[in-house]
Amino acid sequence: MSPLPFLILLLISLPFQVISQNHSTADEHTILLKLKQQLGNPPSLQSWNSTSSPCDWPEIVCTGNSVTEILLPSKNITQKIPATICDLKNLTTLNLGDNFISGEFPRQLYNCTKLQVLNLSLNHFVGPIPDDIDRISGLRFLRLGYNNFSGDIPPAIGRLSE
């Protein structure tokens, strides 16, 4: 069999792969700008704009043109964590430490299916740490200190296998 049909198929499919990668980056750009708005447009996130790539923003880390880390410690964020954050399908690290975020543990983070590192320390969270926190099954690092959580540490923490 001749390699010519395979080569033709490969050449035809390459533009579609490039288009889908750019489409993904554009989607993440839209998600992050919406997230910025939901966080109250903190002045510290001025670099998040419609004219630059999220991968060039200092608070964002990308791997393979996809957002994998959001690093927002000490940004004076006061708004609750919006569910929109989990629309970033490759998000592995979320650092929101040392802000002024209040309310109960943000269960919407259960939808961040690839989350491995979560830092919510030094905020104003209250109430119990959820009994089903192990639903964020891929967690390798969890930092919740210096909040106002109440009650015992749930056994679910021990079920985080990573």
| Beta strands 66-71 and 124-127, pairing class | unpaired
Q: Quick one: pLDDT band at residue 3, thresholds 50, 70, 90?
A: low
pLDDT at res. 107: 97
pLDDT in tens, 30-82: 999 999 999 999 999 999 999 999 999 999 999 999 999 999 999 999 999 99
Cα–Cα distance between 38 and 46 in angstroms, integer? 14
The DSSP secondary structure of 118-138, one letter per residue, reads: EE--SSEEEEPPPTTGGGSTT
In sequence order, the β-bridge partners of residue 51 are none
Give the CA distances from residue 142 to residues 22, 52, 127, in Å, rounded to whole numbers and listed in that order. Answer: 32, 31, 17
Cα–Cα distance between 28 and 120 in angstroms, integer? 22
Cα–Cα distance between 56 and 54 in angstroms, integer? 5
pLDDT at res. 1: 53
pLDDT in tens, 104-154: 999 999 999 999 999 999 999 999 999 999 999 999 999 999 999 999 999
CATH number of the domain residue 94 falls in: 3.80.10.10
Count the domains in the chain. 1
pTM given for the model: 0.85
Token pair, residue 30, equals 């839209």
Question: Phi/psi of residue 18, each to 5°?
Answer: -65, -45
pLDDT in tens, 100-113: 999 999 999 999 99
Residues 6+ apart with CB under 8 A from 106: 80, 81, 120
Residue numbers of the domain that contains 41: 4-159
